């Protein structure tokens, strides 16, 4: 019944490792987003996809690579994890890429890099 | 280009009112308001569009001053459930991609 789901909810890993976070939405939306929220609660967009096509690609290190196998899924793969990558990562979706629609956020994935 | 929210934090007693402001240096197409409780995801409250259109909850009210590029969120007769961090997300007029730039947040605590 969950609208936007993410797995895992918590992720603890060592520096240098590679990890993935998965996101799925069952709302039938066309657009999905990845946001990063740091320890000061600053919420910043990283990527957005519309119907599997990359629309927004903010200044994010190349170690971060999003993948959208279909419009209901948007995964985030992170290579060579660094301490500064520790944050809460939120997936979100909206009906389309315009600004007039609500974005629905997933529960978040808390990533801790040791 | 991050919008600035004020105040940074506010403490209220149940039943009191509060106003949270969001100011941008850029001309805006829309302002979105979200509330985030500790350890949870941001939840949509309201969208205000250039031209005066609004979409949101009936019990939440907000305004958008296009001349000043400023939005205000009005919380009246506050309840304990209003506690959380409020974020405004702004979209510049030059963009129509749904890209929101969020303010730094305003923490609201409502006490019994």
CATH architecture of A4-113: Sandwich (2.60)
Domain boundaries in chain B?
A: 4-111
Across B77-88, average pLDDT: 95
Report residue B55: phi and psi, to 5°: -140, 130
B4-111: CATH topology is: Immunoglobulin-like (2.60.40)
Domain boundaries in chain A?
A: 4-113
* Whole-angstrom distance, CA of residue A27 vs CA of residue A104: 9
Of the listed ranges A5-9, A97-101, B13-17, the one predicted with least confidence: A97-101
Q: Which run of H or of E encompasses B20?
A: strand B18-23
Q: Which of B41, B56, B91 to mutate to test the interface with A (most CBs of A within 10 A)?
A: B41
Per-window interface: B 13-72 vs A, CB < 8 A: 29-30, 32, 34, 36, 40-44, 47, 49, 55
Across A9-21, average pLDDT: 97
Give residue A99's pLDDT band: very low, low, confident or very high (50, 70, 90): low
**Cβ contact, residue pair B98, A108, below 8 Å:** no
The token pair that represents B98 in the structure block: 């749904």
pLDDT digit string, tens, across residues B27-73: 888 999 999 999 999 999 999 987 777 777 667 789 999 889 999 99
- Contact between residue A74 and residue A89 where contact means Cβ atoms under 8 Å apart: no
Query: Whose CA is closest to A111, among A3, A21, A16?
Result: A21
To the nearest whole Å, the CA of A66 is away from the closest chain B CA by 16
The token pair that represents B42 in the structure block: 């941001």
**Cβ contact, residue pair B44, A41, below 8 Å:** no
pLDDT digit string, tens, across residues A81-93: 999 999 999 999 9
* Whole-angstrom distance, CA of residue B8 vs CA of residue A110: 24
């Amino acid at each position: 019944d969950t609208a936007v789901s993410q797995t895992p909810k918590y992720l603890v890993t060592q520096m240098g490792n590679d990890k993935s976070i998965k996101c799925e939405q069952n709302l039938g939306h066309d657009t999905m987003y990845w946001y990063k929220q740091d320890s000061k609660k600053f919420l910043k967009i990283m990527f957005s996809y519309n119907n599997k096509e990359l629309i927004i690609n903010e200044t994010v290190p190349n170690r971060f690579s999003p993948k959208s196998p279909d419009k209901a899924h948007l995964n985030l793969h992170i290579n060579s994890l660094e301490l500064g990558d520790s944050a809460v990562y939120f997936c979100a979706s909206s009906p389309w890429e315009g600004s007039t629609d609500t974005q629905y956020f997933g529960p978040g994935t808390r990533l801790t890099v040791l | 280009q991050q919008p600035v929210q004020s105040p940074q934090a506010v403490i209220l007693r149940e039943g009191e009112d509060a106003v949270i402001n969001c100011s941008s240096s850029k001309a805006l197409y829309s302002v979105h308001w979200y509330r985030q409780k500790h350890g949870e995801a941001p939840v949509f409250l309201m969208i205000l569009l250039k031209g005066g259109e609004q979409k949101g909850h009936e019990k939440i009210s907000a305004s958008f001053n296009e001349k000043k590029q400023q939005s205000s969120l009005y919380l009246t007769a506050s309840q304990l459930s209003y506690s959380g961090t409020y974020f405004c997300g702004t979209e510049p007029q030059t963009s129509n991609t749904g890209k929101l730039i969020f303010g730094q947040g305003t923490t609201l605590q409502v006490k019994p």
